Amino acid sequence: MEEIVHRTVDVGGLGLHLVEAGPADGPVVLLLHGFPECWYSWRHQLVDLAAAGFHVVAPDQRGYGRSDAPDAVDAYTVLHLVGDAIGVLDAVGAERAVVAGHDWGAPVAWHTALLRPDRVRGVVALSVPHLPRPPAPPTAGMAKRFGTGFYQLYFQEPGVADAELGADPRATFRRLLSATSGGGDAASLTVPPGGGFLDALPEPAELPGWLTDDDLDVYVAEYGDRGFTGGLNWYRNLDRNWALTAALAGAPITPPALYLAGDQDVVVAGVPFEGLVATLRRTVADLRSAVQLPGCGHWTQQERPEQVSAAVVEFAAGLAP
């Protein structure tokens, strides 16, 4: 990966670590990771998209990896995150870009397209679709639908999941990435009574084919200073985000869009793909394509790097200059 460049930029007083690849004058593609990830989850796309002539930018988002992590929980709202995305585009001199996101990065990408369509040539979402606004705060809906042991509710209490996940980061990454991969053993993401998040994730007999011990080494190293608190604070703003975006209810996402998800992704498990796409079209005015990846779990761009890279290149190349 000698062709990629690391640097830190100032975005509104926040230091964000960027990884860039590809020609400086190429069309920009901004890659936004999810939880618990960092720039490294886009390692394949950094190379593939750069080879296709794009200038690829993958930041560690706020609270992650080598980027700054504010102490205040309410410094991680979706408005802050969209502001960071626009700040990164400013820092690399991109008037407009294709914005792609996976997991938590997908809502950031969707909301960047929603709030700043003037800066977004196209939006690509992996795993997480943009759904209509729920009638009540999200945590209430989660408790009703999944029970109070649902992992996102377990993440709400500051310090609890932080300590559990941080006690042995290598075990955290090994168990989480394996169990929620295609063919993994995560039947649900419900924390058992009196237990922790990792109790729902069995120890794998071996790593999935897309994940190596060297990959785990990188994740552990990248989380060595910041830990998991910054990323967990994103979950602690679910209800705050719902309140802050009330005025956007019913507003369509207008830039061209591409959606990809594995058929074994726990995020959309049990939902017929055709129905999911039909719902997505209610909120996305120009959905160019929706792709389901057979045998793929949650870690879309890492499990199916060639297919994801090819789909993003085809989508971005087909957009108006």
Q: Looking at residue 1, what is its pLDDT?
A: 52
pLDDT at position 2, please?
A: 55
Predicted confidence at residue 3, as pLDDT, reads: 84
Catalytically annotated residue among 48, 60, 103, 265: 103
102 carries an active-site annotation: no
pLDDT at 187 over 70: no
Cβ pair 88, 18 in contact under 8 A: yes
- 298 catalytic residue (yes or no): yes
Q: How far apart are CA 3 and CA 53, in angstroms?
A: 13
Helix (H, G, I), strand (E, B) or coil at 131: coil
Matching residue, tokens 């995020």: 267
The model's pLDDT over 203-234, given as tens digits with 9 standing for 90+, comes to 999 999 999 999 999 999 999 988 999 999 99
Please name which of 315, 308, 279 lies closest in space to residue 102, comparing C-alpha atoms. 308
Selected catalytic residue, list 17, 33, 130, 298: 298
Cβ–Cβ < 8 Å for 297, 126:
no
pLDDT digits (tens, 9 = 90+) for 112-127: 999 999 999 999 999 9
pTM over 0.85: yes
For residue range 235-268, what is the model confidence (pLDDT) as tens digits?
999 999 999 999 999 999 999 999 999 999 999 9
In the chain the domains, ranked by start, together with CATH numbers, are 5-136+233-317 (3.40.50.1820)
Q: For residue 102, give Cα distances in angstroms to 75, 225, 291, 311.
A: 21, 23, 14, 14
CA distance 140 to 153: 9
pLDDT tens digits for 281-290?
A: 999 999 999 9
Q: Tens digits of per-residue pLDDT, 302-321? A: 999 999 999 999 999 999 87
